[in-house]
Structures are given as structure tokens and as C-alpha cells.
Structure 1
Amino acid sequence: MKVITKSIYTIISLSLLMNCTTKQELNVEVFETSASGNKLSKISEFSRTETSSKIVLDTSKRFQKITGFGGAFTESSAYLLNKLSEKNRKEIIEAYFSRDGANYSLTRTHMNSCDFSLTNYSYTPTPDKELKDFSVKEDKKDLIPMIKAALATSKDGFKIFASPWTAPPWMKDNNHWVGGKLLPEYYDSWALFFSKYLEAYKTEGIEIWGFTVENEPHGNGNNWESMHFTPQEMTDFVQHHLGPKLESDGYGDKIILGYDQNRAGLKEWVDVMYKDEASSKYYDGTAIHWYESTYEVFPEELQYAHNMAPNKYLIETEGCIDAEVPKWKDDAWYWKKEATDWGWDWAPENQKYLHPKYAPANRYARDIIGCLNNWVDGWVDWNMVLNRQGGPNWFKNWCVAPVIVDEEADEVYYTPLYYIMAHFSKYIRPNAEVIDVQTSDKELLVTAAINPDKTISVVIFNQTEYKKEFSLELNGVTKDITINPQAIQTIVLAN
């Protein structure tokens, strides 16, 4: 009798053990970047914590399709690359555009000079409505070779859109690089400029996906290249000049994005842009920047813009840590709340609260997640490469880039911002669909998307000073994961 009882207990114990060992779990890969030193590091061991929360994915609820993530080709970045050794040039391009790197899928460049150019220049310096002297020769030394190197490296390809900071001074009412408006008599010539740019870059073997009509049409405090438009003026130019010109020249498939400045002004612009079928005909979407605030995502404005044009693009086309000289090989600074932006010194008193001190890593992670959770379908960083001063540029407008170089010593520094960008660009691919995600821990910022290959990428940001544990759930199947303090994770669920 004792033997039989012992046998029964043995069978039951073995059965329970088998059930425990065969418990179904989500098949995941976890990659983390953290203040403690992880840099897109693969994590497989998770320690227990005292409290746990739940993050639930729902693939039945899908939102916007992703256009892409990336950065900008600027003359400053391209110039610096050409100052480096061939080895380091190749390494940086691969870091941004190879599948082993960030695999950028959406990029920007400038037409004519911008604040991150070495000098002021125009492709059409001579007053002539037919633009007979149009040439992109200024781009052939640095900018075009950088773009070509990226195209040659990328296996999946990437989209490029171009933005003008200003028309040549002779087309403007103030005859100056900075400020002023495009004279109505040159509207057709300025539309021709876009068409000629497409043709010139196509000749160089570079296909341009589309345009923003004007970088920062409100201006930028009369600092560097700029040209002012009201919402109605820009819409008139697009509706009656730019759109019809591109269409008649065989470029009707090129994307036109309106606005291209801070989110706080979105309502005023989209009300005019998408007022009716005629006004919205040639607009393919809306471009936005993040400089209105170092912490506010402006979800109401983003939702409003989406609802005004739910089938059009809503793309963050520029963001950077501005008004700061980069910290060299000091990862800790990027996680500390020490950086300040332009508004710290210059914002009116009633807007100072929008410009507190902040941690650069937090700003990138929080903003991209917030944008994805409010219908934004693309997010483009500013300069890809700057030097230890935060330049070079003609205006001495110092900023931070994800990759900083010392061109004299031929050294390269990949800041934490580079890895944060890669958490999105590498794992959330074009045509992925943002899906519903719910978290019981409001301190964890979360977004998720299902890729065309059916893998699901979940990006989680823990901005607190303590480790957190959570249970990730999909269709009733779970996986227990921990995330370090001040860390961002991308969790990839196999298809």
C-alpha cells in the first residue's frame, strides 16, 4: 500500500513538474539602452522586483501606418564626414543605414543653404524668372556624396524629403537671406525651383520622395535663413503654383507636406490647409517640429491635425537638443536633467514653464513614444553628425547630434541619443501599424507596432530612478520582464 501511494505521488509530482516546465511564454528578444551603460544590449536574464505591473497588447486595434524614422543630411554633417578617415566615414554611414545599425528609413535634406551650412548660398543666385543658371554644384562636394554613400549602404532603402529655408534673396520683399516674404511675382519661379531640384538630383542618381513647402514659416527670430508664410499664403502657393507645376512636369507623385514648424500652431494651419477639397488637393500631409517645449508632446494638437486629415501624413520633420554644446564622451550627461533649450533664456515669461531643464535621453524617448501614440507616422531627427562644438555652421547655432566627432583627432562618439533613435528605426519598419497597448503602470511610457513581417515591436521607457518589473501579455500569453532605471527597451515578439 505504501509503495502504491508513493508511486501515485511520484506521478502527480512529475505531472506538475512537466506542466510548470512547459508553461507557455511569449517568444521575445529584449534590447535595452540605459543610464547604467547598456547600449542596445540584448537582455535575457531578468531579476525579480517587489512590485509588478501589466502591459497588454491588442493587435485587433490598429492605428496609423509608419512612414519611417531617421535624420537629416546637412552640409555640416557631410562636411565633417569628409574630414574623417575613410574607416570612420564608412563606420558612421553603416551605423545609420545598415541593417546591423539603425537602418534609417526616412530622411531629410535642405534646398539652398540652411543654418547648418557653412555659408549662405542659393542654387539660383542670378535674378531670372526662368532660373536658367539653376545648379546644385554647392551640394556636389559634401552633401550629395554623403547621400550616395547612404544609398549604397542601405539594403532596404529610405525616403528623402527636401526642405527650403528660403528662396534666393532676389525673390523676396526684403532682398535678404533672413526673414521677408516671397514676392507674388515669383510664385511661379519658386514652384519651378522645386521641379528643377527634382531633375538635378535625379541626374545625380538620387530620387527625392517629397518636400516640405517651407522650413519654419513663422520664422526663427530673424536669426538664419528663413522666409515667412501665413497659412493662407502657403496654401495659395501650393494650390495654385507648386502642386500644378509638379503635376505638369511629371512629378505629381511627389509628396507635399505643409506647415513644418512647432506643434502649438497646428490648429491654425490645418484649418486652412484642409479647409476644403480644393485647398487640400495637393497637400499630402503635415510636417511638425518639437521646439515649442522640451517636455510637452501636444497630444490635443496632434489629434486635431489627424482628425482634420485622417488619411494624410503627420510627420515630425525636425527635432534636436538645441542651444547646447555637446558633451564629449560623457554618457551620464545625456541622462541628467541639466540641458536647456533656446526658451530657457528667450521664451516669454508666460511660456517659461514649457522650457525647463531636461535630460536629453528622456526627451527623445518620451517625445517619440508620445508622437506614435498620437497618430504621428514618421519621426526625423536633425543633423546626423556634428563636432565637439555642436557645429560647424555659419550662424554658430550650436546643437547636439546623435553622433559627435572630433574631426581633428579623427574620433567618433556615439551618444545615447543614437541608440535611442535605433530603438525605433531598427525595429519599427515602414508600413508597420501602431497597435493598442495598455499599461497598469503610468510611469512606464509604452508604444507598440506590428511590422509587415508580423513581428511586434514594443518600446518601453522607464524614466524613474528604480527598476521595474512587468508582465507583457498578448492573446493571454505572457512574459515577465524587468527594465532598469532610466532605460529604454525594445521588445521584439516573433511572428
Structure 2
Amino acid sequence: MKTRHYWVLMLSILIMVSCNKKEDGTLEVEVYETSASGNKLKKVTEFAKQGNAVEIKIVPEEEFQTITGFGGAFTESSAYLLNQLGKENRQKIIDAYFSEDGANYSLTRTHMNSCDFSISNYSYSPVEGDKALEHFSIKEDQDDLIPMIKEAMAASKHGFKIFASPWTAAPWMKDNNNWVGGKLLPEYYDTWALFFSKYVDAYKAEGIDIWGFTVENEPLGNGNNWESMHFTPKEMTDFVQNHLGPKLEADGKGNLKILGYDQNREHLKEWVDEMFRDEASSKYFAGTAIHWYASTFEVFPEELQYAHKKAPDKLLIQSEACVDAEIPVWQDDAWYWEKEATDWGWEWAPEEDKHLHPKYAPVNRYARDIIGCLNNWVDGWVDWNMVLDTKGGPNWFKNWCIAPVIVDPEKDEVYFTPLFYTMAHFSKYIRPGAVKIGIENSDRTLLITAAKNPDGSIAVVVFNQDKEEMHFQLSLGELKKVISIDAQAIQTIIVQPN
């Protein structure tokens, strides 16, 4: 009897403590912070005292888009570099990106045929005139890309989606017979549709399921620099409606996601107007893919809102972004928080567009863009290369860029830049199937977004761009919590379900 009374007493105390937690009005949260001062996804439990605090209110009853995922791209360059590293560092990178303890990437991209971040030009259909693609082969991917993807799959507890993008068809299918520029000849439209179907089968044979495609990377071209193939909005829509969509459907692959466009946001209106011009064209498009290179400073919210309103039930996925036209800075976290980096437009944009390409802090651009995208109906955000070397390559065109993870293969060294942790603030804590929810924010200085996960937890991401610490009161219903955020810092705040 004494034992029974003891456990009844203990249960009563636990119930009282639980009730007091609710009655004292404190919102129970876990806070993780990455900052210019050196925090890297650090769990923060103590907050500085403050005066007036910014009011931030979570509004879960306001629901927006369902999240598809966050992640990066499998490129030949990244996979090639992993092959140069020792076993320990190779696994360290794979786990950092894909394990549950790491960034837990859930949405990824890869290229079909070669791209600028390949070691050389190549095609899976190398034999000229092979309209039936009898010589189709993905052997070019078997030494690097496929092993990298398989290792990522092994490290991922919940799996991830892969969509593939072609930069160009083989030159023999094009009107200019060149890797760069030109258009797909109409006589090869059916062959090119077959190419997508064969790609899915070839990767399936390797144990890799493809979730979907973008029809063409950057159909408007890239200044005739590296692999490209041009489509107008009507040409791409007609190809999907009359060739690609029906072919995948006929081959039992109608569940694959086809994303149209796949270039910069400033042209979104004309593309979605054509893609979703009627029921027949809309049928095969699962959504639209976008890039940020028109400006890594401006989100283009009007264009994003327009795209959503035009096709509210379709996906809207940021399929590529990176700090381009820069050589990576090695082992210097401070640089990634400083307003020193530039992009291609700093030198090359037309004068009337220069204001869209200012100097910027790389962390700021990632954090600002992802938050801005989520707050304007974007449901997925995919970074470009996962791994590059200290020169920003390798790639055949010498188109140097920065990745979240930089390696020195000669020394077998790895550098996780602040961009890696910035990505993880979203990918690790906002999971596929989460629903973007409302936020009321009394201070525009703090950039904020929030999503409710399938398990009921709420992830609130806060970015403080200022060089001064800030304080805010986060509330959910009657529950409140005062939190301080470091200067130049990003936080993910997890609110557990009741």
C-alpha cells in the first residue's frame, strides 16, 4: 500500500507541475542559432535580458503551401571531388547533408547529360542519328554521380526526392549541332521525350528512383557560355503537352513530376501564362521551377504571387541558387557574413539592372531568399553544388562558384562554410509535408517564416540582419516566450505540440 500511495503522490506532483507550466503562460521552445559570432546550429537555452521586445505572433490557423523539401544538387563536380577524398571525410560530408543528425536534405536535383559543373561534355545518347536511342547509356555517371547518390540514400533515414534536369540534348539533335545554344530539331521531339523515359529506367536499374524532371535548365540561355538549349514558353509547353507528357504516361510513368520553365523569376508571368494556358497544357505540368540569378537581392514577390494565383494547386520550386562568379574563401567564416561578395551582375548586368546586383553577404542572401520564397508560396528550395574545391570548381568551363562545403582534395581537408548551417536551419527542421503558417511581426528588421510539421511541431525561422542583438516575444495563443537573437544570426525555434 505504501508503494501505491507513493506513486499516486508522484503522479499528482507531475500533473501539478505540468499544469503550472501551462498556467504560468510560458511557451516551451528549443532554440538553435548560427551567428557571425561563431554559433553553428548551437542550442541556446539562456537569453540576454532586454528592454522592449519585438512582438512575434504565430498564427497556425493561417495555412499556406505544403512544403516539398529543401536540399542541394548532385553534380559530377561534387561527386568527382568526393572520390578524391579519404573515406572518413567523404562519409562526413554525406552524413552532414543527409543523416538525421545532419542537415537531413529532403529534395535534390541532378543533371542529365553534362552541365557546366561536369568535368567534360558528354551525352547519354552519343551515337548520331540514333532516334530509337538503342545506344542510350548512363555509364558516364557510374563512377561518380551514382555512387554519391547511393551513399546519400544509405545515410538518409527518411529518404529524399530527386528531380533531374537536362542542360542540352546531344548536339546531333539540335539545329546548331553544338553543345551550347541552339534548339531541338522538331524531328527529334519524340526521341527527346524517349530520352527522359529511358533515363528513369536506367536509374531505376541502379536502385535510384527519380521523382521528377525540369524540362530544360535555363531555356532562355546563359549567354552562350556552357551547355544550353533554347525554348520559348510556347515551344516548351507544346513539347510537354504533345510529346513528353504523353510519352511518360504511355510508359507507365505518369506519376513523375514535370516542372516547367527553370530559370529566373523576373520572367515568371509569361511562362506560367503559357504553361497553364488551358486544361490540356496544365495536365502534364506538376509545377514551375525557378532560379534566383536575376537578383540574389530581390525576391520578386509579385511574380511569385502571380505564379501561385495562376496555378494554385501546382508546385513552385526554387531549383537552383548559388554564390556565383566568386572563388570560395577558405576557413574564414567571417567573410560569409560580410558585405563583400558579388555575383555575375555586379560587372555584367545592364546598367538599368545594376541595382539588383549589389555587394552582399552570402549568408544574408541565402537566409533572406529562402524566407522570402517561403513567404510567397514557394514550397521547395534547392541549392546548387553541394561540394566544390578551393578554386570554386572543378568544371570544364571554369565557371567558378561557391558551395556550402568546400574541400581541398590534395590535403584531404573539409570546410563547412556558414552557408551549410544556413541551409540546415530550414532543411533539418522544416520537413516534407509541413504547412507554411502565418506570422505577425511588429518589426520588419527581423525576417521570419514559420511552418507546422507533420508531427505537430512548429518551426519558426528568424533572421537578424542587424549588427546588434535583438529581443522578441514569441507567442502562440496565450503562451509567450521572450527570446534574444545574436547580431547577424539565424535561429530556428521549435515549438512542440501540446
TM range (shorter): over 0.9
Q: CA–CA distance in 2 between the matches of 1:262 and 1:345?
A: 18
Contact 2:25 2:478 in 1 (8 A): no
Contact 1:334 1:360 in 2 (8 A): yes
Q: Secondary structure at the match of 1:382?
A: strand
2:40 equivalent to 1:28: no
Q: CA–CA distance in 2 between the matches of 1:20 and 1:234?
A: 57
- Runs of at least 5 residues in structure 2 that lack an aligned partner in the other structure: 1-18
Identity of aligned residues (%): 72
Cα gap change, 1:176 to 1:45, in 2 (>3 Å): same
Q: CA–CA distance in 2 between the matches of 1:479 and 1:24?
A: 8
2:139 equivalent to 1:133: no
Q: How big is the shift at 1:24? A: 2.5
- The answer for the alignment partner of 2:9 in structure 1 is none
Contact 1:210 1:256 in 2 (8 A): yes
The correspondence for 1:447, drawn from 429, 446, 449, is 449
Deviation string, structure 1 residues 23-82 (Cα, Å, up to 9, x no partner): 231110000000000000000000023331110011111000000000000000000001
2:351 equivalent to 1:349: yes
- The answer for the alignment partner of 1:89 in structure 2 is 90
- Runs of at least 5 residues in structure 1 that lack an aligned partner in the other structure: 1-17
The correspondence for 1:318, drawn from 308, 317, 320, is 320
Q: How big is the shift at 1:19? A: 8.4
Q: In the alignment, residue 194 of structure 1 is paired with which amino acid?
A: F
The correspondence for 2:280, drawn from 266, 269, 278, is 278
Q: CA–CA distance in 1 between the matches of 2:441 and 2:336?
A: 26
Q: How big is the shift at 1:22? A: 6.2
Which residues in structure 2 correspond to 1:318-467 (within 5 Å)?
A: 318-467=320-469
Q: How big is the shift at 1:294? A: 2.0
2:260 equivalent to 1:258: yes
2:114 equivalent to 1:113: yes
Contact 2:321 2:382 in 1 (8 A): yes
Q: CA–CA distance in 1 between the matches of 2:352 and 2:84?
A: 44
Q: How big is the shift at 1:92? A: 0.3
Which residues in structure 2 correspond to 1:169-184 (within 5 Å)?
A: 169-184=171-186
Q: CA–CA distance in 1 between the matches of 2:313 and 2:259?
A: 13
The correspondence for 1:142, drawn from 134, 141, 144, is 144
Q: Secondary structure at the match of 2:253?
A: coil
Contact 2:110 2:164 in 1 (8 A): yes
- The answer for the alignment partner of 1:207 in structure 2 is 209
Q: CA–CA distance in 1 between the matches of 2:318 and 2:165?
A: 13
Contact 1:74 1:109 in 2 (8 A): yes
Deviation string, structure 1 residues 65-106 (Cα, Å, up to 9, x no partner): 000000000000000001000000000000000000000000
Q: CA–CA distance in 1 between the matches of 2:87 and 2:20?
A: 57
- The answer for the alignment partner of 1:51 in structure 2 is 52
- The answer for the alignment partner of 1:123 in structure 2 is 124
The range that moved more, 367-376 or 20-29, is 20-29
Contact 1:123 1:136 in 2 (8 A): yes
2:62 equivalent to 1:99: no
Contact 2:324 2:402 in 1 (8 A): yes
Q: In the alignment, residue 45 of structure 1 is paired with which amino acid?
A: E
Q: CA–CA distance in 2 between the matches of 1:229 and 1:123?
A: 21
Deviation string, structure 1 residues 346-377 (Cα, Å, up to 9, x no partner): 11111111101000000000000000000000
Contact 1:323 1:341 in 2 (8 A): yes
Q: In the alignment, residue 61 of structure 2 is paired with which amino acid?
A: S
- The answer for the alignment partner of 1:159 in structure 2 is 161
Q: How big is the shift at 1:279? A: 1.3
- The answer for the alignment partner of 1:8 in structure 2 is none
Q: Secondary structure at the match of 2:84?
A: coil
Q: In the alignment, residue 357 of structure 2 is paired with which amino acid?
A: H
Contact 1:49 1:467 in 2 (8 A): no
- The answer for the alignment partner of 1:299 in structure 2 is 301
- The answer for the alignment partner of 1:14 in structure 2 is none
The range that moved more, 50-59 or 103-112, is 50-59
Which residues in structure 2 correspond to 1:218-257 (within 5 Å)?
A: 218-257=220-259
- The answer for the alignment partner of 1:168 in structure 2 is 170
Q: Secondary structure at the match of 1:82?
A: helix
- The answer for the alignment partner of 1:491 in structure 2 is 493
Q: In the alignment, residue 35 of structure 1 is paired with which amino acid?
A: A
Q: Secondary structure at the match of 1:47?
A: coil
Q: CA–CA distance in 2 between the matches of 1:470 and 1:405?
A: 38
Q: How big is the shift at 1:107? A: 0.2
Q: CA–CA distance in 2 between the matches of 1:19 and 1:158?
A: 41
Q: How big is the shift at 1:297? A: 0.2
How large is the Cα RMSD of the aligned pairs? 1.1
Q: In the alignment, residue 313 of structure 2 is paired with which amino acid?
A: N
Q: CA–CA distance in 2 between the matches of 1:296 and 1:50?
A: 33
Q: Secondary structure at the match of 2:330?
A: coil
Q: CA–CA distance in 2 between the matches of 1:295 and 1:352?
A: 11
Q: CA–CA distance in 2 between the matches of 1:218 and 1:442?
A: 35
- The answer for the alignment partner of 1:7 in structure 2 is none
Cα gap change, 1:21 to 1:490, in 2 (>3 Å): closer
Q: CA–CA distance in 2 between the matches of 1:57 and 1:49?
A: 21
Q: CA–CA distance in 2 between the matches of 1:124 and 1:256?
A: 21
Deviation string, structure 1 residues 307-336 (Cα, Å, up to 9, x no partner): 000000000000000000000000000000
- TM-score (normalizing by structure 1): 0.96
Contact 1:324 1:341 in 2 (8 A): yes
Q: Secondary structure at the match of 2:226?
A: coil
List, as ranges, runs of 4+ consecutive aligned residues in structure 1 with deviation greater than 4 Å. Answer: 18-22
Q: CA–CA distance in 1 between the matches of 2:347 and 2:106?
A: 35
Q: CA–CA distance in 1 between the matches of 2:50 and 2:466?
A: 14
Q: Secondary structure at the match of 1:279?
A: helix
Q: CA–CA distance in 2 between the matches of 1:33 and 1:170?
A: 49
Q: CA–CA distance in 2 between the matches of 1:295 and 1:387?
A: 25
Contact 1:451 1:457 in 2 (8 A): yes
Q: In the alignment, residue 240 of structure 2 is paired with which amino acid?
A: V
Cα gap change, 1:317 to 1:40, in 2 (>3 Å): same
Q: Secondary structure at the match of 1:190?
A: helix
